[in-house]
Structure 1
Amino acid sequence: MKTHRFVRFAKVGALGFVVDLSVFSILLYWIGLPTMVSRVIAFVVAASCTWLGNRVYTFESRGNHFVQWKRFFISACLSMLPNLLVFKSILLSLGENHFTHALAFVCGVGAGFMGNYLLSSRWVFK
């Protein structure tokens, strides 16, 4: 039995989450970049990973790579807006420390998840 597309999307998203959080942590805590710079760079790296995973595994797409990548990048930027707004709002409200970074990160990713799925399934990989 084939796994439902939404479940596959969530699995790829979970991998993307690990990449996202890892890159964010390295940039912020080890390299010392500012919080929002670290967050945006990590998001772009994770989006690139999830594009490939969704293309190959979730949607099993055979469409034009470049066209899909452009659409996915636009889609990622749109889903990044609620993600970053929630992330920044939590940090402004609660201050910055390891706990609030993690909380803001999880809530931000959650805020962008459904929009990302809808754009991916209905536009990027249709």
Structure 2
Amino acid sequence: MSKPVPRQFASFALIGVGGLFVDMAALAVALHLLGLDPYGGRVFSYLMAATFTWYMNRQFTFTGVSRRGAIRQWARFLAANAVGAVVNYGVYVLVLKVGPWVIAGIGLWPEGLTALLPYAGVAAGSVSGLVFNFVLSKKLVFRNA
């Protein structure tokens, strides 16, 4: 039996936070122990974090789905989350490009706080990527047969 969607989403988000720590730790390993450059190291850390989050979501978030075809499911998870990463980055760029116009237009944001706009973009991108990844994971990766 699967969990209700709000519980699944909370579990997915919590595992995503764990994945963030795995990502950072794997990047440090890649850079300092494996001698990879920042770009190759990022590919390595993404794969480690995505594998961690796939496994944890398979075990705890999307219970009740088939345990067969793990390699195919893992590949679908990587593909779905790569699409979510593009959404995340796109929203980040959108906030950076449109944010100053919105701020100037509504006049509610003090001019000195525009330096915080990139952080608002990261937050908005993370939230949009999270929602997108959850929906794709639920519908395409961890669906019932």
Q: Same fold (TM over 0.5)?
A: yes
Partner in structure 2 of residue 118 of structure 1: 135
Give the structure-1-normalised TM-score. Answer: 0.68
Please list every run of 5 or more consecutive structure 2 residues that lacks an aligned counterpart in the other structure: 97-117
Partner in structure 2 of residue 17 of structure 1: 20
Q: 2:81 aligns with which of 76, 83, 86?
A: 76
* C-alpha RMSD of the superposition: 3.1
Task: Map 1:33-112 to 2 at 5 A.
Answer: 33-63=36-66, 64=68, 65-82=70-87, 107=122, 110=126, 112=129
Which structure has the larger Rg over C-alpha atoms? 2
Maintained 8 Å contact 2:27/2:42: yes
- State the percentage of identical aligned residues: 29
CA distance in 2 between counterparts of 1:84 and 1:31 reads 27
Maintained 8 Å contact 2:65/2:142: no
Q: Could you say if the C-alpha distance between residues 78 and 71 of structure 1 is closer, same or farther in structure 2, counting changes exceeding 3 Å?
A: same
TM superposition shift of 1:14: 1.1
Q: Could you say if the C-alpha distance between residues 72 and 56 of structure 1 is closer, same or farther in structure 2, counting changes exceeding 3 Å?
A: same
Q: Could you say if the C-alpha distance between residues 83 and 21 of structure 1 is closer, same or farther in structure 2, counting changes exceeding 3 Å?
A: farther
CA distance in 1 between counterparts of 2:21 and 2:12 reads 14
Runs of 4+, deviation exceeding 6 Å: none
CA distance in 2 between counterparts of 1:7 and 1:69 reads 21
Please give the per-residue CA displacement for 1:40-76, whole angstroms capped at 9, x wherever unaligned. Answer: 1100011011111001100114312233223212213
| Residue-pair matches, total | 109
